[in-house]
Structure 1
Amino acid sequence: MKVTEQDAIRRTKMAVTRSALVEDFHRLGLKKAMTVIVHTSMSRIGWVCGGPVTVIEALQEVLTMEGTLVMPAHSADVSDPSDWDNPAVPASWWQSIYKEMPPFDPERTPTLGMGRVAECFRTFPGVKRSSHPIYSFAAWGAGAGAITSEHALDDGLGPASPLGKIYDRNGFVLLLGVGYGNNTSMHLGECFARRLQMIRRSSPVLIKNEKQWVTYRDWNYHEERFPRIGRAFEKKGAAGKALRNGTIGQAKSVLMSQRAIVDFTAETVRKG
Protein backbone atom coordinates (compact mmCIF):
# COMPACT_ATOMS: atom_id res chain seq x y z
CA MET A 1 0.00 0.00 0.00
CA LYS A 2 1.38 3.39 -1.02
CA VAL A 3 2.01 5.76 1.88
CA THR A 4 0.72 9.28 1.19
CA GLU A 5 2.31 12.43 2.56
CA GLN A 6 -0.68 12.84 4.87
CA ASP A 7 -0.07 9.30 6.18
CA ALA A 8 3.59 10.16 6.83
CA ILE A 9 2.66 13.33 8.71
CA ARG A 10 0.09 11.50 10.81
CA ARG A 11 2.58 8.77 11.76
CA THR A 12 5.47 11.12 12.58
CA LYS A 13 5.88 12.47 16.11
CA MET A 14 8.31 15.25 15.10
CA ALA A 15 9.49 16.53 11.72
CA VAL A 16 12.63 14.67 10.60
CA THR A 17 15.26 17.21 9.54
CA ARG A 18 18.74 16.95 8.07
CA SER A 19 20.43 17.85 11.36
CA ALA A 20 18.34 15.25 13.20
CA LEU A 21 19.30 12.60 10.64
CA VAL A 22 22.99 13.49 10.96
CA GLU A 23 22.74 13.00 14.73
CA ASP A 24 20.98 9.66 14.26
CA PHE A 25 23.59 8.44 11.76
CA HIS A 26 26.42 9.37 14.13
CA ARG A 27 24.65 7.65 17.03
CA LEU A 28 24.25 4.47 14.98
CA GLY A 29 27.98 4.42 14.22
CA LEU A 30 28.28 5.92 10.77
CA LYS A 31 31.58 7.82 10.49
CA LYS A 32 33.67 9.97 8.22
CA ALA A 33 35.53 8.08 5.47
CA MET A 34 33.44 4.89 5.74
CA THR A 35 32.40 2.93 2.66
CA VAL A 36 28.73 2.00 3.09
CA ILE A 37 25.97 0.56 0.92
CA VAL A 38 22.56 1.84 1.98
CA HIS A 39 19.11 0.27 1.55
CA THR A 40 16.25 2.56 2.52
CA SER A 41 12.51 2.69 3.10
CA MET A 42 11.56 6.36 2.92
CA SER A 43 8.11 5.74 4.40
CA ARG A 44 9.57 4.13 7.54
CA ILE A 45 11.71 7.18 8.35
CA GLY A 46 8.67 9.39 8.81
CA TRP A 47 7.92 12.80 7.33
CA VAL A 48 11.29 14.17 6.22
CA CYS A 49 11.74 17.89 5.59
CA GLY A 50 13.15 17.86 2.06
CA GLY A 51 12.36 14.24 1.32
CA PRO A 52 14.93 11.90 -0.27
CA VAL A 53 17.31 14.79 -0.99
CA THR A 54 17.63 15.46 2.74
CA VAL A 55 18.34 11.80 3.52
CA ILE A 56 21.09 11.67 0.89
CA GLU A 57 22.66 14.97 1.94
CA ALA A 58 22.69 13.87 5.59
CA LEU A 59 24.52 10.67 4.62
CA GLN A 60 27.01 12.65 2.55
CA GLU A 61 27.60 15.08 5.41
CA VAL A 62 28.48 12.26 7.77
CA LEU A 63 30.66 10.26 5.37
CA THR A 64 32.26 13.33 3.72
CA MET A 65 34.03 13.11 0.36
CA GLU A 66 36.63 10.89 2.05
CA GLY A 67 34.00 8.19 2.37
CA THR A 68 31.97 6.37 -0.26
CA LEU A 69 28.18 6.14 -0.36
CA VAL A 70 26.72 3.31 -2.47
CA MET A 71 23.15 2.37 -3.33
CA PRO A 72 21.69 -0.30 -5.61
CA ALA A 73 20.41 1.08 -8.91
CA HIS A 74 18.98 -2.14 -10.30
CA SER A 75 16.71 -2.18 -13.35
CA ALA A 76 15.45 -5.74 -13.65
CA ASP A 77 13.01 -4.73 -16.38
CA VAL A 78 15.86 -4.15 -18.87
CA SER A 79 15.78 -7.84 -19.66
CA ASP A 80 14.17 -10.60 -21.70
CA PRO A 81 10.38 -10.36 -21.32
CA SER A 82 10.12 -14.16 -21.48
CA ASP A 83 11.75 -14.17 -18.00
CA TRP A 84 9.25 -11.78 -16.44
CA ASP A 85 6.85 -13.21 -13.87
CA ASN A 86 6.05 -10.36 -11.47
CA PRO A 87 4.09 -9.47 -13.50
CA ALA A 88 4.37 -11.48 -16.69
CA VAL A 89 3.33 -10.05 -20.05
CA PRO A 90 1.58 -11.92 -22.89
CA ALA A 91 3.92 -13.87 -25.17
CA SER A 92 2.31 -12.07 -28.11
CA TRP A 93 4.02 -8.88 -26.88
CA TRP A 94 7.55 -10.26 -26.74
CA GLN A 95 8.66 -9.50 -30.29
CA SER A 96 7.55 -5.89 -29.99
CA ILE A 97 9.43 -5.56 -26.70
CA TYR A 98 12.61 -7.06 -28.16
CA LYS A 99 12.43 -4.57 -31.01
CA GLU A 100 11.44 -1.44 -29.10
CA MET A 101 12.94 -1.69 -25.60
CA PRO A 102 15.50 1.11 -25.08
CA PRO A 103 19.04 -0.09 -24.32
CA PHE A 104 20.42 0.34 -20.82
CA ASP A 105 21.82 3.85 -20.28
CA PRO A 106 23.55 4.56 -16.93
CA GLU A 107 22.46 8.20 -17.09
CA ARG A 108 18.83 7.74 -18.06
CA THR A 109 17.56 4.27 -17.22
CA PRO A 110 15.47 4.51 -14.04
CA THR A 111 15.79 2.10 -11.15
CA LEU A 112 13.04 -0.46 -10.55
CA GLY A 113 11.81 -1.31 -7.06
CA MET A 114 14.75 0.38 -5.32
CA GLY A 115 12.72 3.06 -3.56
CA ARG A 116 12.60 6.84 -3.70
CA VAL A 117 15.98 7.48 -2.08
CA ALA A 118 17.95 5.21 -4.43
CA GLU A 119 16.16 6.61 -7.49
CA CYS A 120 16.92 10.16 -6.38
CA PHE A 121 20.53 9.30 -5.52
CA ARG A 122 21.41 8.04 -9.02
CA THR A 123 20.75 11.55 -10.40
CA PHE A 124 22.79 13.42 -7.76
CA PRO A 125 25.82 15.52 -8.78
CA GLY A 126 29.04 13.53 -8.64
CA VAL A 127 27.31 10.14 -8.53
CA LYS A 128 28.68 7.42 -10.83
CA ARG A 129 26.74 4.38 -11.95
CA SER A 130 28.05 1.01 -13.05
CA SER A 131 27.22 -0.38 -16.47
CA HIS A 132 25.41 -3.64 -15.72
CA PRO A 133 21.94 -3.50 -17.37
CA ILE A 134 20.05 -5.12 -14.47
CA TYR A 135 22.44 -5.05 -11.47
CA SER A 136 23.97 -1.58 -11.63
CA PHE A 137 25.07 0.31 -8.51
CA ALA A 138 25.40 4.07 -7.94
CA ALA A 139 28.20 5.53 -5.84
CA TRP A 140 29.46 8.91 -4.61
CA GLY A 141 32.67 9.88 -2.87
CA ALA A 142 36.30 8.85 -2.81
CA GLY A 143 35.79 5.31 -4.08
CA ALA A 144 32.91 5.92 -6.47
CA GLY A 145 34.93 5.49 -9.65
CA ALA A 146 36.73 2.36 -8.51
CA ILE A 147 33.57 0.68 -7.19
CA THR A 148 31.44 1.31 -10.28
CA SER A 149 34.05 0.68 -13.00
CA GLU A 150 34.38 -2.52 -15.01
CA HIS A 151 31.12 -4.13 -13.91
CA ALA A 152 31.18 -7.25 -16.08
CA LEU A 153 27.97 -8.70 -17.50
CA ASP A 154 28.90 -12.16 -16.21
CA ASP A 155 29.54 -10.96 -12.66
CA GLY A 156 26.46 -8.98 -11.71
CA LEU A 157 26.59 -9.58 -7.93
CA GLY A 158 29.79 -11.59 -7.60
CA PRO A 159 33.38 -11.08 -6.38
CA ALA A 160 34.40 -8.61 -9.12
CA SER A 161 31.13 -6.63 -8.93
CA PRO A 162 30.65 -3.44 -6.89
CA LEU A 163 29.57 -5.70 -4.00
CA GLY A 164 32.91 -7.49 -4.14
CA LYS A 165 34.76 -4.18 -4.19
CA ILE A 166 32.90 -3.01 -1.08
CA TYR A 167 33.89 -6.33 0.54
CA ASP A 168 37.56 -5.74 -0.37
CA ARG A 169 37.36 -2.30 1.26
CA ASN A 170 35.91 -3.68 4.52
CA GLY A 171 32.78 -1.64 3.91
CA PHE A 172 29.47 -1.56 5.77
CA VAL A 173 25.79 -2.17 5.09
CA LEU A 174 23.11 0.18 6.41
CA LEU A 175 19.57 -1.23 6.46
CA LEU A 176 17.51 1.91 7.02
CA GLY A 177 13.96 0.86 7.80
CA VAL A 178 14.25 -2.38 5.81
CA GLY A 179 15.08 -5.98 6.71
CA TYR A 180 17.60 -8.57 5.59
CA GLY A 181 15.45 -9.45 2.60
CA ASN A 182 16.68 -6.17 1.09
CA ASN A 183 20.34 -6.83 1.91
CA THR A 184 21.81 -7.20 -1.59
CA SER A 185 25.28 -7.94 -0.21
CA MET A 186 24.05 -11.36 0.93
CA HIS A 187 23.93 -12.39 -2.74
CA LEU A 188 27.72 -12.08 -2.71
CA GLY A 189 27.71 -14.62 0.11
CA GLU A 190 25.63 -16.94 -2.08
CA CYS A 191 28.24 -16.59 -4.82
CA PHE A 192 31.07 -17.36 -2.39
CA ALA A 193 29.22 -20.51 -1.25
CA ARG A 194 29.24 -21.92 -4.81
CA ARG A 195 25.85 -23.58 -4.40
CA LEU A 196 23.86 -21.58 -6.96
CA GLN A 197 22.55 -22.83 -10.26
CA MET A 198 23.83 -20.90 -13.28
CA ILE A 199 21.25 -19.39 -15.63
CA ARG A 200 21.37 -17.13 -18.68
CA ARG A 201 19.84 -13.69 -19.12
CA SER A 202 19.57 -11.21 -21.98
CA SER A 203 19.43 -7.41 -22.04
CA PRO A 204 19.63 -4.62 -24.62
CA VAL A 205 22.84 -2.56 -24.37
CA LEU A 206 24.67 -0.04 -26.53
CA ILE A 207 27.68 -1.37 -28.44
CA LYS A 208 29.41 1.15 -30.71
CA ASN A 209 26.31 3.36 -30.44
CA GLU A 210 24.02 0.60 -31.66
CA LYS A 211 21.47 -1.34 -29.61
CA GLN A 212 22.24 -5.03 -29.31
CA TRP A 213 20.65 -7.76 -27.22
CA VAL A 214 23.43 -9.58 -25.38
CA THR A 215 23.27 -12.83 -23.42
CA TYR A 216 25.27 -13.29 -20.24
CA ARG A 217 25.69 -15.55 -17.21
CA ASP A 218 23.74 -15.02 -14.03
CA TRP A 219 22.90 -17.07 -10.96
CA ASN A 220 19.55 -18.26 -9.63
CA TYR A 221 19.61 -16.30 -6.37
CA HIS A 222 17.44 -17.11 -3.32
CA GLU A 223 16.85 -13.92 -1.33
CA GLU A 224 13.80 -15.53 0.26
CA ARG A 225 16.17 -17.16 2.79
CA PHE A 226 17.89 -13.91 3.75
CA PRO A 227 15.53 -12.98 6.65
CA ARG A 228 16.17 -16.37 8.28
CA ILE A 229 19.94 -16.06 7.78
CA GLY A 230 19.84 -12.50 9.13
CA ARG A 231 18.01 -13.58 12.28
CA ALA A 232 20.60 -16.30 12.82
CA PHE A 233 23.40 -13.79 12.21
CA GLU A 234 22.12 -11.64 15.07
CA LYS A 235 20.97 -14.44 17.38
CA LYS A 236 24.24 -16.38 17.28
CA GLY A 237 26.30 -13.28 17.90
CA ALA A 238 28.13 -13.83 14.64
CA ALA A 239 28.22 -10.08 14.09
CA GLY A 240 29.90 -9.28 17.41
CA LYS A 241 30.94 -5.65 17.39
CA ALA A 242 30.29 -5.60 13.64
CA LEU A 243 26.56 -4.87 14.12
CA ARG A 244 24.72 -1.97 15.71
CA ASN A 245 20.97 -1.44 16.00
CA GLY A 246 19.34 1.97 16.28
CA THR A 247 16.72 4.33 14.93
CA ILE A 248 17.03 6.76 12.02
CA GLY A 249 14.12 9.18 12.21
CA GLN A 250 11.40 6.67 13.10
CA ALA A 251 12.95 3.79 11.18
CA LYS A 252 14.49 0.81 12.96
CA SER A 253 17.90 0.46 11.36
CA VAL A 254 20.97 -1.77 11.41
CA LEU A 255 24.58 -0.91 10.57
CA MET A 256 26.79 -3.96 10.02
CA SER A 257 30.09 -5.05 8.59
CA GLN A 258 29.45 -6.14 5.01
CA ARG A 259 32.24 -8.71 5.24
CA ALA A 260 30.70 -10.25 8.38
CA ILE A 261 27.23 -10.73 6.88
CA VAL A 262 28.64 -11.93 3.53
CA ASP A 263 30.89 -14.52 5.20
CA PHE A 264 28.08 -15.69 7.50
CA THR A 265 25.73 -16.05 4.51
CA ALA A 266 28.33 -18.08 2.60
CA GLU A 267 28.91 -20.38 5.56
CA THR A 268 25.17 -20.88 6.14
CA VAL A 269 24.45 -21.64 2.48
CA ARG A 270 27.34 -24.13 2.31
CA LYS A 271 25.89 -26.02 5.27
CA GLY A 272 22.50 -26.16 3.54
Structure 2
Amino acid sequence: MIFLAEPSHVSRHDIIAGLRELGISAGDGLMVHSSLSSFGYVEGGAQTVIEALQEALTPDGTLLLPSFNHGAAFREGGAGYFDPTETPTTNGAIPDLFWRLPDVRRSLNPSHAFAAWGREARRYTEFHHRTLTLGPESPLGLLLADDGSCLLMGVGYAPNTFHHVVEMSTGAPCLGLRTTAHPVVLPDGRRVEGRT
Protein backbone atom coordinates (compact mmCIF):
# COMPACT_ATOMS: atom_id res chain seq x y z
CA MET A 1 0.00 0.00 0.00
CA ILE A 2 1.37 3.44 -0.89
CA PHE A 3 0.38 6.19 1.55
CA LEU A 4 1.35 9.82 1.24
CA ALA A 5 1.56 11.66 4.56
CA GLU A 6 -0.48 14.49 3.07
CA PRO A 7 -1.96 14.92 -0.38
CA SER A 8 0.63 16.68 -2.45
CA HIS A 9 1.88 17.39 -5.94
CA VAL A 10 2.57 14.00 -7.56
CA SER A 11 4.38 13.30 -10.83
CA ARG A 12 4.67 10.19 -12.98
CA HIS A 13 8.23 9.81 -11.71
CA ASP A 14 6.98 9.85 -8.08
CA ILE A 15 4.47 7.08 -8.80
CA ILE A 16 6.99 4.91 -10.63
CA ALA A 17 9.52 5.39 -7.81
CA GLY A 18 6.88 4.33 -5.27
CA LEU A 19 5.98 1.25 -7.32
CA ARG A 20 9.65 0.27 -7.60
CA GLU A 21 10.09 0.76 -3.84
CA LEU A 22 7.27 -1.74 -3.31
CA GLY A 23 9.04 -4.26 -5.53
CA ILE A 24 6.68 -4.00 -8.49
CA SER A 25 8.59 -4.74 -11.67
CA ALA A 26 8.37 -5.61 -15.35
CA GLY A 27 6.34 -8.72 -16.05
CA ASP A 28 4.31 -8.65 -12.82
CA GLY A 29 0.56 -9.22 -12.70
CA LEU A 30 -1.16 -6.52 -10.67
CA MET A 31 -4.72 -5.71 -9.62
CA VAL A 32 -5.15 -2.07 -8.56
CA HIS A 33 -7.85 -0.38 -6.49
CA SER A 34 -7.30 3.37 -6.43
CA SER A 35 -8.51 6.83 -5.49
CA LEU A 36 -7.16 9.67 -7.61
CA SER A 37 -8.34 12.34 -5.16
CA SER A 38 -6.28 10.80 -2.35
CA PHE A 39 -3.07 11.62 -4.25
CA GLY A 40 -3.60 15.37 -4.12
CA TYR A 41 -2.65 17.03 -7.40
CA VAL A 42 -1.37 14.56 -9.99
CA GLU A 43 0.31 16.05 -13.05
CA GLY A 44 -1.80 14.72 -15.93
CA GLY A 45 -4.45 13.21 -13.65
CA ALA A 46 -5.69 9.64 -14.09
CA GLN A 47 -3.75 9.24 -17.36
CA THR A 48 -0.47 9.75 -15.50
CA VAL A 49 -1.31 7.11 -12.89
CA ILE A 50 -2.22 4.60 -15.62
CA GLU A 51 0.92 5.34 -17.64
CA ALA A 52 3.10 4.95 -14.54
CA LEU A 53 1.54 1.57 -13.76
CA GLN A 54 1.99 0.44 -17.38
CA GLU A 55 5.59 1.63 -17.46
CA ALA A 56 6.39 -0.23 -14.25
CA LEU A 57 4.79 -3.48 -15.45
CA THR A 58 5.70 -3.21 -19.16
CA PRO A 59 3.60 -5.05 -21.79
CA ASP A 60 5.11 -8.30 -20.44
CA GLY A 61 3.10 -7.76 -17.26
CA THR A 62 -0.65 -7.49 -16.77
CA LEU A 63 -2.57 -4.60 -15.22
CA LEU A 64 -6.08 -5.33 -13.97
CA LEU A 65 -8.54 -2.72 -12.67
CA PRO A 66 -12.16 -3.03 -11.58
CA SER A 67 -14.69 -1.52 -13.98
CA PHE A 68 -17.81 -2.42 -12.03
CA ASN A 69 -21.19 -0.79 -12.47
CA HIS A 70 -22.56 -2.71 -9.44
CA GLY A 71 -25.79 -3.40 -11.33
CA ALA A 72 -26.57 0.28 -12.02
CA ALA A 73 -27.16 -0.58 -15.69
CA PHE A 74 -30.14 -2.73 -14.65
CA ARG A 75 -31.80 -0.42 -12.15
CA GLU A 76 -34.39 2.23 -12.94
CA GLY A 77 -32.88 4.78 -15.31
CA GLY A 78 -30.17 2.37 -16.43
CA ALA A 79 -29.73 1.10 -19.98
CA GLY A 80 -31.09 -2.35 -19.11
CA TYR A 81 -28.00 -4.06 -20.53
CA PHE A 82 -24.22 -4.05 -20.09
CA ASP A 83 -22.15 -2.89 -23.05
CA PRO A 84 -18.39 -3.03 -22.45
CA THR A 85 -17.89 -0.13 -24.86
CA GLU A 86 -20.28 2.29 -23.17
CA THR A 87 -21.38 1.28 -19.65
CA PRO A 88 -19.51 3.53 -17.19
CA THR A 89 -17.83 2.24 -14.06
CA THR A 90 -18.56 3.37 -10.53
CA ASN A 91 -14.98 2.69 -9.38
CA GLY A 92 -13.57 6.19 -9.82
CA ALA A 93 -11.60 8.29 -12.28
CA ILE A 94 -8.63 5.98 -12.83
CA PRO A 95 -10.65 2.83 -13.69
CA ASP A 96 -13.18 4.84 -15.71
CA LEU A 97 -10.43 6.19 -17.96
CA PHE A 98 -8.52 2.90 -18.06
CA TRP A 99 -11.29 0.73 -19.56
CA ARG A 100 -11.81 3.30 -22.33
CA LEU A 101 -8.21 3.12 -23.60
CA PRO A 102 -7.78 1.41 -26.99
CA ASP A 103 -5.29 -1.25 -25.83
CA VAL A 104 -7.37 -2.29 -22.79
CA ARG A 105 -9.78 -5.24 -22.81
CA ARG A 106 -12.91 -5.23 -20.68
CA SER A 107 -14.60 -8.40 -19.49
CA LEU A 108 -18.28 -9.00 -20.19
CA ASN A 109 -19.52 -9.55 -16.64
CA PRO A 110 -22.72 -7.46 -16.48
CA SER A 111 -22.13 -5.90 -13.06
CA HIS A 112 -18.52 -6.66 -12.04
CA ALA A 113 -16.47 -6.33 -15.21
CA PHE A 114 -12.69 -6.01 -15.06
CA ALA A 115 -10.45 -4.09 -17.44
CA ALA A 116 -7.05 -5.53 -18.33
CA TRP A 117 -3.92 -4.46 -20.19
CA GLY A 118 -0.77 -6.39 -21.01
CA ARG A 119 0.32 -9.95 -21.68
CA GLU A 120 -2.61 -11.80 -20.05
CA ALA A 121 -5.37 -9.25 -20.75
CA ARG A 122 -7.22 -11.44 -23.21
CA ARG A 123 -6.98 -14.63 -21.15
CA TYR A 124 -8.15 -12.84 -17.99
CA THR A 125 -11.20 -11.22 -19.59
CA GLU A 126 -12.54 -13.33 -22.47
CA PHE A 127 -14.78 -15.77 -20.55
CA HIS A 128 -15.71 -13.74 -17.47
CA HIS A 129 -19.41 -13.63 -18.43
CA ARG A 130 -19.49 -17.46 -18.39
CA THR A 131 -17.99 -18.06 -14.97
CA LEU A 132 -18.45 -17.05 -11.35
CA THR A 133 -17.92 -13.32 -10.87
CA LEU A 134 -15.00 -13.81 -8.48
CA GLY A 135 -14.41 -17.53 -8.84
CA PRO A 136 -11.23 -19.37 -9.86
CA GLU A 137 -11.74 -18.69 -13.59
CA SER A 138 -12.59 -15.01 -13.12
CA PRO A 139 -9.99 -12.34 -13.92
CA LEU A 140 -8.99 -12.17 -10.25
CA GLY A 141 -8.98 -15.94 -9.90
CA LEU A 142 -6.63 -16.24 -12.86
CA LEU A 143 -4.41 -13.47 -11.49
CA LEU A 144 -4.23 -15.31 -8.16
CA ALA A 145 -3.32 -18.57 -9.92
CA ASP A 146 -0.54 -16.68 -11.72
CA ASP A 147 0.84 -15.37 -8.37
CA GLY A 148 -0.35 -11.84 -9.09
CA SER A 149 -0.65 -9.12 -6.48
CA CYS A 150 -3.15 -6.49 -5.41
CA LEU A 151 -2.14 -2.86 -4.87
CA LEU A 152 -4.30 -0.40 -2.94
CA MET A 153 -3.42 3.12 -4.08
CA GLY A 154 -4.94 5.72 -1.79
CA VAL A 155 -7.70 3.44 -0.51
CA GLY A 156 -8.05 1.31 2.60
CA TYR A 157 -8.79 -2.39 2.63
CA ALA A 158 -12.60 -2.13 2.34
CA PRO A 159 -12.79 -1.76 -1.47
CA ASN A 160 -10.37 -4.65 -2.06
CA THR A 161 -12.21 -7.34 -4.03
CA PHE A 162 -9.21 -9.68 -4.21
CA HIS A 163 -10.11 -11.32 -0.89
CA HIS A 164 -13.43 -12.52 -2.35
CA VAL A 165 -11.52 -14.89 -4.65
CA VAL A 166 -9.91 -16.49 -1.62
CA GLU A 167 -13.30 -16.68 0.12
CA MET A 168 -14.85 -18.33 -2.94
CA SER A 169 -11.99 -20.84 -3.21
CA THR A 170 -12.51 -21.94 0.40
CA GLY A 171 -16.29 -22.25 0.12
CA ALA A 172 -17.01 -19.28 2.39
CA PRO A 173 -20.57 -18.09 1.76
CA CYS A 174 -19.49 -14.48 1.16
CA LEU A 175 -21.05 -13.93 -2.26
CA GLY A 176 -23.15 -17.00 -2.86
CA LEU A 177 -23.29 -18.49 -6.34
CA ARG A 178 -24.49 -15.24 -7.94
CA THR A 179 -26.57 -16.86 -10.66
CA THR A 180 -28.47 -13.74 -11.72
CA ALA A 181 -28.20 -13.16 -15.47
CA HIS A 182 -28.50 -9.85 -17.35
CA PRO A 183 -28.24 -8.83 -21.03
CA VAL A 184 -24.69 -8.25 -22.26
CA VAL A 185 -23.77 -6.75 -25.64
CA LEU A 186 -21.01 -8.74 -27.36
CA PRO A 187 -18.39 -7.02 -29.55
CA ASP A 188 -20.30 -8.15 -32.68
CA GLY A 189 -23.50 -6.48 -31.39
CA ARG A 190 -25.33 -9.66 -30.38
CA ARG A 191 -26.94 -9.78 -26.95
CA VAL A 192 -26.47 -12.73 -24.63
CA GLU A 193 -27.28 -13.38 -21.00
CA GLY A 194 -24.26 -12.87 -18.77
CA ARG A 195 -24.09 -14.18 -15.23
CA THR A 196 -23.14 -11.93 -12.35
Question: What TM-score comes out, normalization by structure 2 length?
Answer: 0.86
Deviation of residue 124 (structure 1)? 1.5
Q: 1:88 — aligned with what?
A: none
Q: 2:100 — aligned with what?
A: 123
1:54 aligns with 2:48: yes
Q: 2:141 — aligned with what?
A: 164
Cα RMSD (Å): 2.2
Task: Name the structure where helix makes up a greater proportion of residues.
Answer: 1
Which of 1 and 2 has greater Rg?
Answer: 1
Q: Distance between the aligned counterparts of 1:179 and 1:56, measured in 2?
A: 19
The answer to whether the Cα contact below 8 Å between 2:109 and 2:194 also exists between their aligned partners in 1 is no
DSSP 3-state at the match of 1:140: strand
DSSP 3-state at the match of 2:17: helix
Q: Distance between the aligned counterparts of 1:76 and 1:198, measured in 2?
A: 16
Q: Distance between the aligned counterparts of 1:171 and 1:181, measured in 2?
A: 19
Q: 1:30 — aligned with what?
A: 24
Question: What TM-score comes out, normalization by structure 1 length?
Answer: 0.63
Deviations 1:138-186 (A, max 9, x none): 0111111111111134411111110111011110100111122111111
Deviations 1:110-155 (A, max 9, x none): 112x111011111123100111111110011111111111113441
Q: 2:3 — aligned with what?
A: none
Q: 1:140 — aligned with what?
A: 117
Q: Distance between the aligned counterparts of 1:35 and 1:54, measured in 2?
A: 19
Q: Distance between the aligned counterparts of 1:34 and 1:74, measured in 2?
A: 23
1:175 aligns with 2:169: no
Q: 1:41 — aligned with what?
A: 35
- Note the 1:1-272 alignment, pairs <5 A: 12-13=7-8, 15-78=9-72, 80-81=74-75, 101-112=79-90, 114-196=91-173, 197-206=176-185, 209=189, 211=191, 214=193, 216=195
Deviation of residue 74 (structure 1)? 0.8
Q: Distance between the aligned counterparts of 2:102 and 2:132, measured in 1?
A: 27
Aligned length: 188
Q: CA separation of 1:200/1:79 partners in 2, compared to 1, >3 Å: closer, same or farther?
A: farther
Tell me the percent identity: 36
Q: Distance between the aligned counterparts of 2:119 and 2:89, measured in 1?
A: 23
Unaligned segments of structure 1, at least 5 residues = 1-10, 82-93, 219-272
Deviations 1:13-39 (A, max 9, x none): 4x2111121111111211111000000
Poorly superposed stretches of 4+, deviation over 4 Å:
207-212
The answer to whether the Cα contact below 8 Å between 1:79 and 1:202 also exists between their aligned partners in 2 is no
